[in-house]
Amino acid sequence: RKEVEQDPGPFNVPEGATVAFNCTYSNSASQSFFWYRQDCRKEPKLLMSVYSSGNEDGRFTAQLNRASQYISLLIRDSKLSDSATYLCVVDSSGNTPLVFGKGTRLSVIA
């Protein structure tokens, strides 16, 4: 089982739709979780951290399920500008390196 697994997509959704991505991780000792966004031919940028209690930032909601070892990202009211690749990132513990998933590609269509 890979350390971090994501559905590569692409997810093609119309503007205004709600879309959800899941990501599973293999290391049960993992402590920190993030979603990064990467636009085409650009560098990754932090979208949001994922907290145990779940957290929301505007149209974006992140959830963590430790028992099942997955995290999710929900995007409501999709905008054309949300089109990007969303990278699931897991930090196993303390000072170990972050592990990036392959990313899920989202295309929001007018």
Partner 1 sequence: EAGVAQSPRYKIIEKRQSVAFWCNPISGHATLYWYQQILGQGPKLLIQFQNNGVVDDSQLPKDRFSAERLKGVDSTLKIQPAKLEDSAVYLCASSLGQGGVTQYFGPGTRLLVL
Chain residues binding partner 1 by CB under 8 A are 4, 8, 31-32, 34, 42-46, 49, 87, 91, 93-103
DSSP designation for 97: P
* Residue among 20 and 46 whose Cβ is closer to partner 1: 46
Taking the complex as a whole, how short is the minimal distance between the CB of residue 30 and partner 1, in angstroms? 9
Structural contact between residues 32 and 62, judged by C-beta atoms closer than 8 angstroms: no
Peptide bond into 10 cis (omega under 30): yes
Which CB atom, from 5 or from 17, has the smaller least distance to partner 1?
5
The smaller minimum CB distance to partner 1, of residues 36 and 63, is found at: 36
Taking the complex as a whole, the smallest distance from the CB of residue 78 to partner 1 amounts, in Å, to: 22
Which residue type does 45 have? K
Q: Which of 77, 81, 80, 90 is nearest to 36 (CA)?
A: 90
